[in-house]
Amino acid sequence: MLSVLRQQLSDLLLPSNKTVHKLIMMAMLAFLAFGITGLGVFTLMYSLSTMRAGRDSAASHGISASDSSRLGGAAIALIFGAYFIGLVLLTPYTPSVVRVEREMYMWLAILICVFLGLAEDIKADFLTPFLRLMTKFAVWGWFFWLWPDVIPKQLGIMGLDDLLQVPLLAWLLTTTFCVGFINAFNMADGANGLVPGIAFAAFVIFFLEYGRPIDGILMFACTMFLLFNIISGWFFLGDTGSYGLGAIILGYGLIGVIEGDFSIWFMLAIAAYPCLDFIASITRRLASGRSPFVADDGHLHNYLHRKLKPVFSSKVMANSITGLLISGCTAGLALLGYITSWRAADSPDWLWVFVAEAGLYLLVMRWLKQQSQQEG
């Protein structure tokens, strides 16, 4: 294991011609898109990707082609933190950064999730899965207890709306959903461009809807990470990124639902893949008598990657196409519908988009499983 890690670090610090070509391509694209700022962020990401801390073997990621760094989420957090501080201290946009006190508490909850992920990324199993789960329950339960007005009272779902009228039940259901949502993003982060692609689509929608500088920052950070992630294949979000991005989308999405800007079905259409795959994965593991906390390779993205891998000569490309296909057919579909004004974001008609995404998930999963069985 140590020899493999040493070799991988050597390859990154003394890169091969193929790696040099990738680095040049990423640097040029970063500069063309964002100028000196993009080049600076690219340098930060490359530096973090070569650090010994947070490194994982390819076997840990299921479909990764090589040993990789789990500090991609830390890079996004550093970019976001620097720009956030700049917004607060140096620009007239400060009032719109954190509009009300409840958002300060929301960001505190998000920050705790980020630190939980960072601890896991730097030292695997530093905290047990159960302890991380209970900490998230405590943090989001505390947030909703302090700010019960953020708990939805009506979602337009028969039966559930009645339960939400009971304060204690509403608090418990909302907390459970939020923790599950964040874990779903973490569980779905198994292919290049998958979760960051979904996050990018969500932040584009938030930015177009509200015009908040904070959403623009997150769009920029996700774009830079996507550039590095899908081309190199050796820089992952890790738990820091999946927890953090999932929690941000959850927080702002929930506030949007409460304020009537988004319907619950619109938000579910954006995050369809993490939610559907989370339910399928938990059901699969419990049905087979396994712990729901133990990772496996039975996700749709695992099956799709195995199908695509023989088609592409590059393992990284097969990985990246897998993630981009899934994020494009779910969050990308919701983004397209929003931009083209297919329906208003607060319309209940987005239910049918979510139903279509669920049907597509089931059909593709069934077909891929049949193909896998036939191929042995």
Maximum distance among all Cα pairs of the chain, rounded to whole angstroms = 63
Long-range CB contacts (< 8 A, 24+ apart) of 81-87? 83/217, 83/220, 84/214, 84/217, 87/213, 87/214, 87/217
pLDDT of residue 147: 87
In order of 189, 191, 329, 368, the CA distances from 372 in angstroms are 22, 19, 22, 6
Concatenating the DSSP letter of every residue in 158-222 gives TTHHHHTTSHHHHHHHHHHHHHHHHHHHHHH--STTHHHHHHHHHHHHHHHHH--HHHHHHHHHH
Interacting residues of 142 by C-beta distance below 8 A, sequence separation 6+: 109
Reported as half-sphere exposure (CB side, CA atoms, 13 A), residue 268 has a value of 21
pLDDT of residue 173: 94
In order of 87, 107, 213, the CA distances from 92 in angstroms are 8, 20, 11
pLDDT of residue 4: 44
Give the torsion through C-alpha atoms of 280, 203, 251, 326, to 10 deg: 0
In order along its 376 residues, the chain shows pLDDT tens digits of: 445 445 544 554 555 677 888 888 888 988 888 899 888 888 888 888 888 777 776 555 555 556 678 888 999 999 888 877 776 666 555 445 555 566 778 889 999 999 999 999 988 778 888 899 999 999 999 999 988 888 888 887 888 888 889 999 999 999 999 999 999 999 999 999 999 999 999 999 999 999 988 899 999 999 999 998 999 888 889 999 999 999 999 999 999 999 999 999 999 999 999 999 999 999 999 998 888 878 888 999 999 999 999 998 888 899 999 999 999 999 999 999 999 999 999 999 999 999 999 999 999 999 999 988 887 6
Length of the chain: 376
Tokens 């530096």 sit at which residue?
A: 47
Pairing status of strand 55-56 against strand 68-69: antiparallel
Can you name the residues that pair with 68 across neighbouring β-strands? 56
Which structure tokens are listed for 337? Answer: 């519908």
C-alpha 88/C-alpha 97 separation (Å) is: 7
pLDDT of residue 230: 92
Query: What is the pTM for the complete model shown?
Result: 0.90
Name which of 359, 305, 281 is nearest 194 in CA terms.
305
pLDDT of residue 158: 80
C-alpha 247/C-alpha 251 separation (Å) is: 6
Q: Specify the 3-state DSSP secondary structure of 51.
A: coil
- Give kind and range of the element (H or E) at residue 112: helix 101-122
